Amino acid sequence: MSESETDSDCPMDIEAAAEAAINGLLPEKSKALYEAAYKKFQAWQAKNRVQATDEKCLLAYFSQELKDKSPPTKWSLYSMLRTMINVKIGIDISGFMNLKSFLKRKSDGYRPKKSKILTKEQIFKFLKEAEDSVHLATKVALIIGVYGACRREEIMKLSLDDIEDLKDSIKITIPNTKTKIMRQFIVTKGEAPGVDMLKLFRLYAEKRPAGTGHSRFFVSYRFGKCTKQAMGINTIAKLPRIIAEHLKLPSPELYTGHCFRRSSASLLADSGVDISVLKRHGGWKSSSVAEGYVENSLQQKKSIATKILGEAAEVSEPSEVHIATSSKNVPERQAESITLSHAFFVFRPQSSSVQ
């Protein structure tokens, strides 16, 4: 091999290695979205004959090209472009303070649409009254979704290997989450009159046919029988609406694929746990994100009113559950170990006042 060949090969090897390393900086799941966002930005630059990639350029792009996008979409595109511009041309736009101020100002007063939640009473009512021959799969998805604060894709991807029957309970592992934090939770029988959640779970598991060719737990359910076809994410996303329609709740279309996760967070928050327990339960890293899943319920407002002026406002006690992350300054009776499932599915008739 000649010296010239050696000189020409080395830079090519280095360039290939660098390109591979750069590609590894992009999140694998959404890599195509990042690249599409950057190509669209480049096309806008070419169309408008803009050569520089500076703060003025990006301010113009966001104010003209993306003016009709919602604030969350703008922030998402900003995050993608920040990564791609830094990777492709080595410019860090996170220091463009005027651009950030512009995006923050456009977010003022914006209230994102959130899925409505199911109350504990509504959950019990559906589990007790809905026909198993029609809604058994929906019931089991509801149980898993609320017990585990599951996203729709987590329910869809749940496999047989993620489920362990412990006789008195069922342990479920969610290995691949959006935040890359593995979660585990327990499904118990529950204490609602006429509802045995373990029985419902096992009944559906028994109906799941052998030889499906895949390990996904949730399969299509029709006329009291399971098929071999795995349940898709769009079908799972429609289940909260089906529940709302069965219960004849107003605006059933507002019960979206986020309903189970938001319902779980709200029920747990109403039980009196602190934010650290809530974050661990849902696998959230940010306190603000965790709080965003909690419904600002009338029950919470009544509880606050009662604490301020005593018996002036009648309110039923939110929960008898107390979870402490530290033993300091906590009465001994509250420090005992309990399971989170009690925060969800312990049925208590509402009392007339707080004791």
The CATH number for 265's domain is 1.10.443.10
pLDDT of res. 18 = 61
Q: What is the mean pLDDT of residues 59-71?
A: 91
What pLDDT, in 10s, does the model give residues 76-130? 999 999 999 999 999 999 999 999 999 999 888 877 778 899 999 999 999 999 9
Q: Is the pLDDT of residue 315 over 60?
A: no
Residues 160 and 92 in one domain: no
Q: How confident is the model at residue 333 (pLDDT cuts 50, 70, 90)?
A: very low
Q: Is the pLDDT of residue 231 over 70?
A: yes
Residues 102 and 212 in one domain: no
pLDDT of res. 74 = 93
pLDDT over 70 percentage in the chain:
78
Measured CA to CA, the distance from residue 59 to residue 176 in angstroms comes to 37
Q: Is the pLDDT of residue 338 over 80?
A: no
Q: Is the pLDDT of residue 217 over 60?
A: yes
What pLDDT, in 10s, does the model give residues 160-187? 999 999 999 999 999 877 777 889 999 9
Domain boundary among 62, 80, 107: 107
The whole-chain average pLDDT of the chain stands at: 82
pLDDT of res. 184 = 94
Q: How confident is the model at residue 192 (pLDDT cuts 50, 70, 90)?
A: confident
Residues 195 and 130 in one domain: yes
Question: pLDDT higher for 239 or 115?
Answer: 239
Q: How confident is the model at residue 298 (pLDDT cuts 50, 70, 90)?
A: low
Residue pair 271/343 in contact (Cβ under 8 Å)? The answer is: yes
pLDDT of res. 325 = 39
pLDDT of res. 170 = 96
Q: Is the pLDDT of residue 39 over 90?
A: yes
Residues 208 and 289 in one domain: yes
Residues 98 and 151 in one domain: no
pLDDT of res. 6 = 45
pLDDT of res. 181 = 81
Residues 68 and 163 in one domain: no
pLDDT of res. 312 = 47
Q: What is the mean pLDDT of residues 248-269?
A: 93
In degrees rounded to 5, what are phi and psi of residue 45? -60, -45
Q: What is the mean pLDDT of residues 56-81?
A: 92
Q: Is the pLDDT of residue 318 over 50?
A: no
Residues 187 and 252 in one domain: yes
Q: What is the mean pLDDT of residues 334-343?
A: 43
Q: How confident is the model at residue 319 (pLDDT cuts 50, 70, 90)?
A: very low
Q: Is the pLDDT of residue 136 over 80?
A: yes
Which residues are bridge partners to 173 per DSSP? 184
Residues 78 and 135 in one domain: no
pTM comes to 0.70
Residue range(s) defining the domain that contains residue 51 = 13-107
Q: What is the mean pLDDT of residues 144-169?
A: 95
Domain boundary among 293, 308, 323: 308
Residues 47 and 162 in one domain: no
The count of structural domains within the chain is 2
In this structure, of 146-150, 188-192, 249-253, the range with the lowest mean pLDDT score is 188-192
pLDDT of res. 349 = 45
Q: What is the mean pLDDT of residues 330-353?
A: 44
- Residues contacting residue 136 through CB under 8 Å, at least 6 positions apart: 200, 203, 204, 207, 221, 224
Residues 190 and 304 in one domain: yes
